[in-house]
Amino acid sequence: MYEQIVAHVERAIYDGRLRQGQKLPPERQLARDLKASRVAVREALRTLELRGLVEVRQGSTGGYFVREADDRALVRDFATLFRLGRVSRAQLIEARRLIEPEVAFLAAQRASEPELKTLLAALEQRADRTASGADSRRLDLEFHRLLADAAHNPVHAVVTHALMALETEVVAPRVEFTEADNAEIEAAHRRIFEAVAARKASEARAIMATHIEDVQARLDRTAASE
């Protein structure tokens, strides 16, 4: 019975009858409406949560809500495969080499003026953070995410977001770049941005490819020194 409930809620989400962020009816009402036991409803909701379709929110206004579309399910699956040894760090780097230069190429063709302003603001925020001595790794990854959004291909965006999250949370969670590392990464991001803003797609692609190789070499040196 719980599988039928899962299928029913899935169809409602996919058809748009249940929208992202919308609260599901309480367990008691779902059980009454679907002519099922509350045990079956509870099991169905757990299954939907594991599939990343709904989420639980606590508090007086809490309950089950249709989850906003994001990359968390993909990150979780990649992280599991990585920890099981079925996906290697080298394979993840290979994926970045293939995807991100094309992301830069498309962003140079498709980025809107507001998106260019957001990218520039991220660069300036990163520079300010580095100047104050604070860790800027999160902002480095944010630049790549914003660039993927500016490419206007949701497949590229989701995969790039997932790879960025996987690198910072699982593959290299405690990276400490040197001052020279930070300076070169910042300079590379500015070169990528300038090529994107100038609509020089091939140049943006080439700079991004070089940047990916350079950052991975720096990560390797940092890991070797630990």
The string of pLDDT tens digits covering residues 23-77 is 998 899 999 998 999 999 999 999 998 887 888 888 888 889 998 766 677 778 8
Both structure tokens of 10 = 């899935």
* pLDDT digits 0-9 by tens, 137-174: 788 888 999 999 999 998 888 888 888 888 777 766 66
Domain at 2-66: CATH architecture: Orthogonal Bundle (1.10)
**Token duo for residue 105:** 């190429």
- pLDDT of residue 216 exceeding 80, the answer is yes
In sequence order, the 6+-apart residues with CB closer than 8 A to the CB of 76 are 52
Kindly state the percentage of the chain with pLDDT values over 70.
Answer: 94
The rounded distance, in Å, linking the Cα atoms of 98 and 65 is 36
The pLDDT of residue 60 is 80
pLDDT tens digit sequence for 80-110: 888 888 888 888 888 889 999 999 999 999 9
pLDDT at 102: 96
Domain boundaries, the chain: 2-66, 72-225
Is the pTM higher than 0.75?
no
DSSP characters for the chain? -HHHHHHHHHHHHHTTSS-TTPBPPPHHHHHHHHT--HHHHHHHHHHHHHTTSEEEE-STT-EEEEPPP-SHHHHHHHHHHHHTTSS-HHHHHHHHHHHHHHHHHHHHHH--HHHHHHHHHHHHHHHHHHHTT---HHHHHHHHHHHHHHTT-HHHHHHHHHHHHHIIIIISTT----HHHHHHHHHHHHHHHHHHHTT-HHHHHHHHHHHHHHHHHHHHHHHHH-
pLDDT of residue 90: 83
User: Does domain 72-225 sit in CATH 1.20.120.530?
Assistant: yes
Average pLDDT, the chain: 87
